[in-house]
Amino acid sequence: MFKHVEPYPGDPIFSLNEDFQNDPRAHKINLGIGIYFDEEGRIPVLESVRRAEARLLAAGGTKAYLPIEGAANMRGAVQALLFGAGHPVLSSGRVVTLQTVGSSGGLKVGADFIARWLPGSQVWVSDPTWDNHRAMFEGAGLVVHTYPYYDAGDATAHPPRPAGGLEFDAMLAALAALPPRSVVLLHACCHNPTGVDLSRAQWDALIPLLRERELLPYLDLAYQGFGEGIDADAYAVRALAAAGIGFFVANSFSKSMSVYGERCGALSVVCPDALQAEHVLGQLKATVRRNYSSPPIHGGQIVALVLGEPELRALWEVELAAMRARILAMRRALHDALVARLPGHDFGYLLSQRGMFSYTGLCAPQVDVLREQHGVYLLRSGRLCVAGLNEHNLRASADALASVLAG
C-alpha cells in the first residue's frame, strides 16, 4: 500500500542538529540551530518563566480544553505586546488573535485561510528566507515566489560593493509589479537567515506601496526584543496598523521567553472593520478545528502571566535585554577576532546585521569543511547563529572560520 511513498530527506535544520548531537568530538560547536544559548552553552530557563510556572502549579487549575481560539488572557496580552496597549485598531475591534502552536502553527493556519478565502492569491517571500516558509505555504496549496532581498555584494564593481546589505530598490520594484491580493511575507525584525532588516525609513517607503498595490502583508515576528527592543522591534506592525492596511502577523515566544518546547505562539489579523474581523475569526477557528482543535494550556498561561503581571513583566524585560546584549557582545567579539586573523576581509556585516543570525557568505562546500574538519556546525546556506557563541568557543570558531575563508 505504501510502496509509492517517497523517503523524507529530513529538515535541514533539525537534521543538522541531530548530526551535531551524534558527533563524538568533544570540541564540536553548534552555530547552526536557531536557539539562544547562554554563556555556558545552555538553553536558559528565565527566572520570570520559573516564577510564572510556580504560580500556575500552586494555583492548580483545570486541564479542560481551551476554546478553539485559545485563552482570552493570553490573546489579549499578545495584542498589547504587538500593537501597544490602547492602540486604535484594538479599541475598534479590528484585530483578531489566535493562540497557536508556536508561530509555525500560526503561519500555517494563516496559509490555509488564505488558500480557502483568497483563491488565486500567490505568495512572495524574501530571497532568502527561513527554510520552512516556502514549505508551509506550498503545503497549503499556494504558489510561492521570491522577491529580491539580500545583497550578496559585487567584488567587480568600482568601488567594490560589500556583501551583507539589502537590495531595497530591487525589492520595491519587484513588489510594485505584483497583482493585487498578492501575499508578501515580511520579517518584522531580525531577518532569518540574514540578519538584514529594513530601516524605519525603508518601512515608511514600503508601506504606501503595499497599500497602493493592494498587497497583503504577512509578517513573521519570531524575535521581538532581540533586535533593538520590544517596542522598537514592533515598528512594522504598528506602522502597518496606523496606515489602515489589513495584514497578518504570526509571532512567537520561543526565543524571547526561552520556552521552545512549550510551543507558544499567536496569529493576529488586522481587518478593515469589526464585522469583517468577526467573520475572519470565525473562519480561522474553523481552520484550527480541522487541524489541531485547540491549543495547549500550559505555555500560553506562562506567557499570559509574564506579560500580564507587572513584577514578572519587568523581570522578563531585564532578562530579554540581557540576552540581546550578549548577542551584540558576541557579534563584536567575532568581528574583532576575524578582523585580527584576516585583516584584508570585510566583516562589517557582523556589526550591521541584527538578531540571532548572520549570513557569512560561506558557500555549502566551505560549510562542509567547517563541519568535517573543524567540528563547527553552520547551515549550508552559510547562516551562523551568533547566539551559539560564547567566551569558551569564540576563539575556536574564529580560527575555523578564518581557516576556511583564507582557503
- In sequence order, what are the residues at sequence separation of 6 or more whose Cβ sits closer than 8 angstroms to the Cβ of residue 289? 68
Residue 316 is among the residues annotated as catalytic for this protein: no
Residue 130 is among the residues annotated as catalytic for this protein: yes
DSSP codes, 72-99? HHHHHHHHHHHH-TT-HHHHTT-EEEEE
Q: Tell me the sheet residues that pair with 186.
A: 219
d(CA 93, CA 216): 19
The catalytic position among 112, 197, 220, 233 is 220
d(CA 201, CA 183): 22
d(CA 204, CA 210): 11
Burial class (CB in 10 A: 0-12, 13-18, 19+), 2: exposed
The catalytic position among 130, 233, 285, 316 is 130
* Nine-digit cell string for 108: 500555517
- Does the CA dihedral 233-234-237-242 come out positive or negative? negative
Residue 285 is among the residues annotated as catalytic for this protein: no
Closest by Cα among 280, 159, 297, 289 to 216:
280
Contact present, 277 and 93 (Cβ < 8 Å): yes
Closest by Cα among 56, 68, 142, 79 to 105:
68
Residue showing cell 541531530: 18
Please report which helix (H) or strand (E) contains residue 173, including its range: helix 168-176
The catalytic position among 233, 255, 285, 316 is 255
* Residues acting as catalytic residues: 130, 220, 255
